[in-house]
Amino acid sequence: MALSHLPSRFEYQTHHPRRCRVLRRIEIFALIIAVIALVILHGLLKITTIVHWELGGTIVLAMLYFGFSLSLRYFWYISKKEFIKRNLIYLLISGIWLLTSLTILIFHNLIPNQLELILDVSEFCIILRSLYETIILIRRVSSRGWNPALIVAASFLILIAIGTTLLMFPSARVQDLTDKDSETAPFLVALFTSTSASCVTGLTIVPTGSYWSRTGHTIIMFLFQIGGLGILTFGAFFAAAFGRTMQIRESVTFSEMLESHQRGDVRRLVLAILGITIFTELTGAFFLSGLWPELPWGDRIYHSLFHSISGYCNAGFSLMDDNLLNMGHHWQVWGVMPILIIIGGLGFAVNYNFMLYGITHFSNFSVRKPLFNHPTQKVRLTISSRLVFITTIFLLAGGTIGIYLLESIHMQKEVSSGELLNSAWFQSVSFRTAGFNTVDLGELQPQSKLFAVLLMFIGASPGSTGGGVKTVVFALAILSVWSLLKGRDRVEIMGRTIPSALINRSLTIISLSILVLMSSTLLVVLFENRQDIFLNHLFETTSAFATVGVSTGITADLTTPSHWVIIFTMFIGRVGPLTALIALTNRGPSYRYSYPEESVNLG
């Protein structure tokens, strides 16, 4: 939880600065205790009524103290308007809790289970407050000027740790009703699932639908939603949504995270990211709702939302134990899911650029109130956006044709051309980052598996929810080779020259990625000692590194050391390329001298 968000330069505005600091510290302590009580209350299945109400009383007392502390600090503050402005969120949360609780008590004759309802409201307010305090902490860390690469890695480690802890509670998994004792998920199972969800991979060692309960499914959904967008994005969103100014260091950190080259553009970009995300996921959920007509409405809505978020975040998690197997003929699967995956894989900055391009070229919004305060002049498509779009189209078309032709060779069972083309299209989209499958990937031809490894290695686009070395890196490497073959000393495209530093970074990322991938594959092959399925092991480690999540069905059968290798590979695959890019972006010391040149043999 965060410490007091009141900067020291504002402490003079209160009559009792030391007492205010003590009250704030007690607030943080009370919030931590309330969150622990909340987790225990809903994490343990079998809990006595006495303990239940003791924990509930702790939560209610914490809310009472928050109101008392706010009231006291309000009376001590010199400028009442300034206090309200700086503590608006805290006042809103406490005000909602107080008004709701008083309403329940006043109309207790009309409302059944008043105490439980007050407890529910208190739990909801505790969750809101804890989330806000966490966002404040993230913003404080981002504004400290720390290495952004370190912040990225630490944020994912914290998310994985929290997810592992929550998934180990008995309520997170399906329980045997005939067993008197509650069963918790083993540590390795919870850690593997939490890492896979946080890194939006999709690999699992237990069936997601039947092993985890609805609580577990919700935890997993929040993990890949937060992991897909990035924790720092949520911090930037709250800063932008509530009109708070972003410090220069904080803006630089978010700019590097979100692939934005204009410092003043961060606020608009963050709001656009959240707006596009919410709109896309809700629209996708609406169209996916007809995929499970046999389920009750509540379950249909939940299934639709879960798979829509999973598709947009390129997570690859499904509530069906066999993923989307044998469901490829549904238009929701071959039509809606690929659109969600592609939009999520294009990258936040690219989606934002396309949105501004469409608004400023094909609408008259410029004469009205600007959407997200977008510029009124026409916005051009950047070279990065065009390069991403062209490369994505090329990979989608090439992947579909390649899989179709490769699977047509030595086919052992009769499959119609339409069905084969359908599955080739879906897997071409999914192989690059999504992790869904409509066919049994273990039955693919060896040549198709090797081709899939290439697609997975390339992955999605920069600043997206997907993994891999990224489409732009792949495109720059190809352009670099083409320029070299043509005898040119620089890379040119669309009337622009690509800086040589970007070419060097792209080649560095590819080299490091190959090193990590080969090391992970070597370890898995060594631990498993199954030379007959080497290609499956390469397929598995590539899927983990590129945070794709597709599998030939061997994930659960791997040994414990191999599971640890996959866990580290998923983490490095999600964090490594991004942190490497940020690290390479930082310029080292400049030297005023250079050594004499000398050629070396290349072949």
Q: What is the pLDDT of residues 308-352, one digit of tens each?
A: 999 999 998 999 988 888 888 889 999 999 999 999 888 888 888
- Over residues 99-122, the mean pLDDT reads 83
Three-state SS for 206? coil
The residues with which 53 forms a beta bridge, in sequence order, are none
Greatest Cα-to-Cα distance within the chain, rounded to the nearest angstrom: 91
Q: Name the band, by pLDDT with cuts 50, 70 and 90, for residue 542.
A: very high
User: How is the chain split among helix, strand and coil, in percent rounded to 5?
Assistant: 70, 0, 30
Are the C-beta atoms of residues 372 and 265 closer than 8 Å to each other?
no
Are the C-beta atoms of residues 524 and 540 closer than 8 Å to each other?
yes
Structure tokens given for 10: 């504002």
% of the chain beyond a pLDDT of 70: 82
Sign of the dihedral defined by the CA atoms of residues 367, 371, 373, 379, in that order: negative
Q: What is the pLDDT of residues 423-444, one digit of tens each?
A: 999 999 999 888 898 888 888 8
Give the lowest-confidence range in 35-49, 166-180, 214-228, 241-255.
241-255
What region does 145 belong to: left with phi over 0, alpha with psi -120 to 50, or beta?
Answer: left
Higher pLDDT, 379 or 60: 60
Q: Name the band, by pLDDT with cuts 50, 70 and 90, for residue 1.
A: very low
Each as own residue / partner, the long-range contacts of residues 82-90 (CB below 8 Å, 24 or more positions apart, any chain) are 82/10, 82/13, 83/13, 86/6, 86/10, 88/242, 89/132, 89/242, 90/66, 90/129, 90/132
pLDDT of residue 562: 94
Are the C-beta atoms of residues 470 and 462 closer than 8 Å to each other?
yes
Does pLDDT of 189 surpass 90? yes
| Mean per-residue pLDDT of the chain | 82
Angle between helices 231-241 and 214-229 (to 10 degrees): 80
Nearest residue to 462 (alpha-carbon basis) of 384, 368, 386: 384
Distance, in Å, from the CA atom of 124 to the CA atom of 234, rounded to the nearest integer, reads 19
DSSP character string of 141-191: HHTTT--HHHHHHHHHHHHHHHHHHHHTSGGGB---TT-SS-----HHHHH
Distance, in Å, from the CA atom of 229 to the CA atom of 273, rounded to the nearest integer, reads 9
Does pLDDT of 586 surpass 60? no
Sign of the dihedral defined by the CA atoms of residues 133, 137, 140, 142, in that order: negative
User: Structural domain boundaries of the chain?
Assistant: 1-142
**Amino acid at site 267:** R
Q: What is the pTM of this model?
A: 0.83
The residues with which 173 forms a beta bridge, in sequence order, are 212
Q: What is the pLDDT of residues 358-369, one digit of tens each?
A: 887 776 654 444
